[in-house]
């Protein structure tokens, strides 16, 4: 296996940290107070394994009938891992080693026949070739056959490419690391198409609060839609590790069965208290998201004036490149000057950098140093 590589958390010096899409602003004061109140003698007791109060607050936030439409976990990454196991595999056809060459040959022939016949056990999971790099890790972890669908020339995803035999679809909207959003209506048509085949469509909306089009209001309409959110980005709680999923109670029950096969107590008492306060303080977080979007758009215009190509973003980051500098070179030049951004040493995105949106002062420093480098 090749594990996921998280963004750098430096210890050697102080940096302007624009590499892991954390919020530049602190959590709501109400969140901090809720955590202080929860830090009491009850920490000797296990937390509520059903997370009922938090799930109820989330259901109310999205107008869902009840807590049985909501699942919560230790960050959205954990929920994604559970979802891959629950809805996409592992496939029985891929399980079990063959002891002889003849048996292996016969198994391969049988698999080919099943594939040609559209056997669900041999249909792949679909997701883009340029997207959140944890998706192929999860697929390999659970032994799920998968196929990556190439994004188009300007990194756009066409949902029409995903209307093909599959065991499910996973799409990040907005996509990572590009930040490009998908149109709501096109996604709805894709979900409807896969409903006929009995496939789950998982939409990872980690960055949706910064300008994306959410499908949270569609989970009651489509029983094959699972929408996943995190509190790490727009709720300024990357250090608390809380995520949640919205979906039909049957899907939520599937996630619960996987969770309870690993660890029933995924969220601690402090996380439960802080997360509930964050969900309930919409006014504070809506203001913070709007502030980040305004900084993003101003920074985009100033970087374009320096000759950068900046992809359209509906997230709290931008994906950029400069025709006069290779990606690795620009990454190192920024790092040497005390600014951390994210670079991937692979394929079509080699010359691009992903830049998280910081405070106005941090982005001004980034732009000034980019001007000096260029």
> Is the confidence at residue 101, as pLDDT, over 60?
no
Please give the mean pLDDT across all residues of the chain. Answer: 92
* Residue 135, CB-side half-sphere exposure with 13 Å CA sphere: 26
**Number of Cβ within a 10 Å radius of residue 277:** 25
Indicate the pLDDT class of residue 91, thresholds 50, 70 and 90.
low
Is 2 part of any domain?
no
The mean pLDDT of 85-114, rounded to a whole number, is 54
Measured in whole angstroms, the distance separating CA 131 from the mean position of its chain's CA atoms is 9
Residues 119 and 40 in one domain: yes
Give pLDDT tens digits for 21-68. 999 999 999 999 999 999 999 999 999 999 999 999 999 999 999 999
Residues 170 and 239 in one domain: yes
Residues 291 and 335 in one domain: yes
Residues 238 and 360 in one domain: no
How far is Cα 93 from Cα 63, in angstroms, rounded to an integer?
40
> Is the confidence at residue 92, as pLDDT, over 80?
no
Domain count, the chain: 2
How far is Cα 343 from Cα 328, in angstroms, rounded to an integer?
7
CB-based burial of residue 12 (10 Å sphere; 0-12 exposed, 13-18 middle, 19+ buried)? exposed
Indicate the pLDDT class of residue 120, thresholds 50, 70 and 90.
low
How far is Cα 143 from Cα 81, in angstroms, rounded to an integer?
12
Q: What percent of the chain has pLDDT over 70?
A: 91
Looking at 252, 280, 308, which one is the last position of a domain?
280
Residues 21 and 36 in one domain: no
Looking at 280, 302, 336, which one is the last position of a domain?
280
For residue 295, the domain's CATH number is 3.90.1150.10
Residues 163 and 309 in one domain: no
What's 182-217 look like in SS3?
A: CCHHHHHHHHHHHHCCCCEEEEECCCHHHCCCCCHH
- Domain with 309, as residue range(s), is 16-26+283-373
**Number of Cβ within a 10 Å radius of residue 147:** 14
The mean pLDDT of 74-83, rounded to a whole number, is 97
Is 318 part of any domain?
yes
Indicate the pLDDT class of residue 11, thresholds 50, 70 and 90.
confident
Residues 322 and 194 in one domain: no
Looking at 280, 305, 339, which one is the last position of a domain?
280
CB-based burial of residue 184 (10 Å sphere; 0-12 exposed, 13-18 middle, 19+ buried)? middle
Give pLDDT tens digits for 332-352. 999 999 999 999 988 899 999
Q: Which of 212, 235, 232, 229 is nearest to 314 (CA)?
A: 212
What backbone phi and psi angles, to 5 degrees, belong to 67? -65, -20
- Classify the C-alpha dihedral 367-209-211-166 as positive or negative: positive
Is 7 part of any domain?
no
Alpha carbon distances (Å) from 262 to 80, 82, 85, 241, 242? 14, 10, 12, 17, 17
Residues 100 and 186 in one domain: yes
The mean pLDDT of 74-100, rounded to a whole number, is 74
Q: What is the pLDDT of residue 102?
A: 55
Residues 236 and 291 in one domain: no
Is 9 part of any domain?
no
Residues 334 and 268 in one domain: no
User: Which of 43-52, 73-82, 113-122, 264-273 has the weakest average pLDDT?
Assistant: 113-122
Residues 335 and 234 in one domain: no
């Amino acid at each position: 296996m090749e594990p996921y590589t998280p963004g750098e958390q430096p210890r050697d010096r102080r940096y302007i940290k624009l590499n892991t899409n954390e919020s530049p602003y602190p959590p709501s004061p109400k969140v901090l107070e809720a955590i202080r109140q929860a830090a009491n003698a009850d920490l000797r007791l296990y937390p509520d394994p059903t997370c009922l109060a938090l799930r109820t607050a989330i259901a109310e936030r999205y107008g869902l009938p009840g807590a049985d439409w909501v699942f919560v976990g230790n960050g959205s990454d954990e929920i994604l891992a559970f979802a891959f196991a629950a809805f996409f595999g592992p496939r029985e056809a891929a399980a079990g080693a063959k002891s002889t060459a003849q048996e292996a040959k016969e198994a391969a022939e049988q698999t080919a026949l099943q594939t040609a016949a559209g056997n669900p056990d041999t249909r792949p999971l679909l997701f883009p070739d340029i997207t959140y790099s944890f998706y192929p890790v999860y697929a390999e972890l659970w032994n799920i056959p998968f196929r990556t669908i190439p994004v188009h020339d300007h990194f756009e995803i066409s949902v029409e490419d995903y209307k093909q035999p599959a065991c499910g679809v996973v799409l990040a909207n907005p996509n990572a690391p590009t930040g490009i959003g998908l149109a709501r209506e096109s996604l709805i048509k894709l979900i409807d198409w896969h409903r006929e085949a009995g496939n789950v469509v998982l939409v990872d909306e980690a960055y949706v609060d910064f300008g994306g089009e959410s499908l949270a209001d569609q989970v009651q309409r489509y029983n094959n839609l699972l929408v996943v959110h995190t509190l790490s980005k727009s709720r300024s709680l990357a250090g608390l590790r809380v995520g949640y999923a919205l979906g039909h109670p049957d899907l939520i029950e599937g996630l619960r069965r996987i969770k309870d096969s690993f660890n029933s107590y995924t969220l601690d008492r402090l996380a439960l208290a802080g997360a509930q306060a964050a969900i309930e303080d919409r006014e504070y977080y809506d203001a913070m998201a709007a502030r980040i979007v305004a900084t993003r758009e101003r920074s985009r215009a100033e970087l374009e004036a320096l000759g950068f190509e900046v992809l359209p973003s509906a997230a709290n980051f931008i994906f950029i490149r400069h025709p006069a500098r290779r990606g690795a070179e620009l990454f190192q030049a920024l790092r040497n000057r005390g600014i951390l951004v994210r670079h991937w040493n692979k394929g079509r995105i080699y010359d691009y950098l992903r830049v998280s949106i910081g405070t106005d002062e941090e982005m001004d420093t980034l732009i000034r140093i980019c001007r000096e480098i260029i």
